[in-house]
Chains A and B, each alone.
Chain A
Amino acid sequence: MPGFSPNELSSYLIIGAILFALGLFTVLTRRNAISVLMGVELILNSANINYVAFSHFGSGSADGQIYAIFVIMLAAAEAAVGLAIVLAIFQIFHSIDVEAAQTLKE
């Protein structure tokens, strides 16, 4: 397939675009809070692929990789807090359906 090889920038961008679209689809359609978080992780991964790919094919400096590491760090923080919120919601509403949790308190 032309334009899709390990030495082409566009192949990485296409993989990133597909991951982003699938992550967005997951976030939009899932009714399960944990699945929504999984979609967010997919989106963050696609952004990371783009960062590292542009860094590799662009200036060759490590700046893009630094940003990717920051994104991974923030994703870890987001997963910890997000899943803690999901567990708290489950204890209160006995469901993690995002449509069930409509109020701010019991």
Chain B
Amino acid sequence: MDISTAVFYLIALITVGSAVMVAFSRNIIYSAFALLGTFAGVAGLYVFLGADFVAAVQLLIYVGGILILIIFAVMLTHRITDVEITNRAAGRLPGLILIAVFLFLLIETVRETPWAKVKEVVYQPTTAKIGDLFLSHYLLPFELASLVLLAALIGAVVLSRKEIRE
């Protein structure tokens, strides 16, 4: 087994293991920090898939932005020392059975499908290609995305401000 395969196994293990912790941890702080492992592991998978720009974006936005937001929300809404179990879950057993069957079906489908064989994998920088596509073929979605972000920004401010009653 060469080194890149070993690294791939390690990244897959970190990704899945952290996701298991997100789903099963009894403490919400542990869940939030395990999410960090999942996001970073997914960024590693993107590197293996030759998507350098997406990997950087994943690190910047997910790890640097969304995760910080989530940890902020956890810290702002929980009196963590007050309660024993901060991360309550209900209906675990039926959920687990359902998910096990579902996962089995998905994995069987993936394994049974005859995917086309891989051609020679070439790793090349993708940033210029993505930039070209954004400003040519995907121009309208790109502009719409900026509108959506503006709406989300204003919406978040309006929702989270304190209402002043007179």
Contact = CB atoms under 8 A, between A and B. Distances in A.
A45 B66 CA distance: 12
Given A32-B28, A35-B28, A83 B115 contact: no
B81 to A, nearest CB: 16
Given A25-B95, A29-B90, A65-B53, A6 B32 contact: no
Q: What range describes how many residues of A lie at the interface?
A: 35 or more
Q: Is the interface of A mostly helix, strand, loop or mixed?
A: helix
Given A10-B110, A52-B49, A77-B148, A66 B134 contact: yes
B33 to A, nearest CB: 11
A101 interface: no
Contact of B110 (A7, A17, A79, A83): A17
Contacts of B145: 70, 73-74
A21 B28 contact: no
Given A81-B155, A90-B76, A6 B141 contact: no
Contacts of A21: 99, 102-103, 106
B116 to A, nearest CB: 8
Contacts of A66: 130, 133-134, 138
B149 A65 contact: no
Contacts of A24: 99, 102
A103 interface: no
Contacts of B116: 57-58
B63 to A, nearest CB: 11
Interface of A: 3, 5-15, 17-26, 28-32, 34-35, 37-39, 41-42, 45, 48-49, 52-53, 55-58, 60, 62-63, 65-66, 68-70, 72-81, 83-88, 90-91, 96-97
Interface of B: 4-5, 8, 12, 15-16, 19-20, 22-23, 28, 31-32, 35, 38-39, 42, 45-46, 48-51, 53-54, 57-58, 61-62, 65-66, 69-70, 72-74, 76-77, 86-92, 95-96, 98-99, 102-103, 106-107, 110-111, 113, 115-116, 118-119, 121, 126, 129-130, 133-134, 138, 141, 145, 148-149, 151-153, 155-157, 159-160, 162
18 contacts: A17-B107, A23-B19, A26-B22, A28-B99, A29-B91, A30-B88, A31-B88, A34-B74, A42-B38, A56-B50, A58-B116, A69-B57, A76-B149, A76-B152, A77-B151, A79-B70, A80-B156, A88-B159
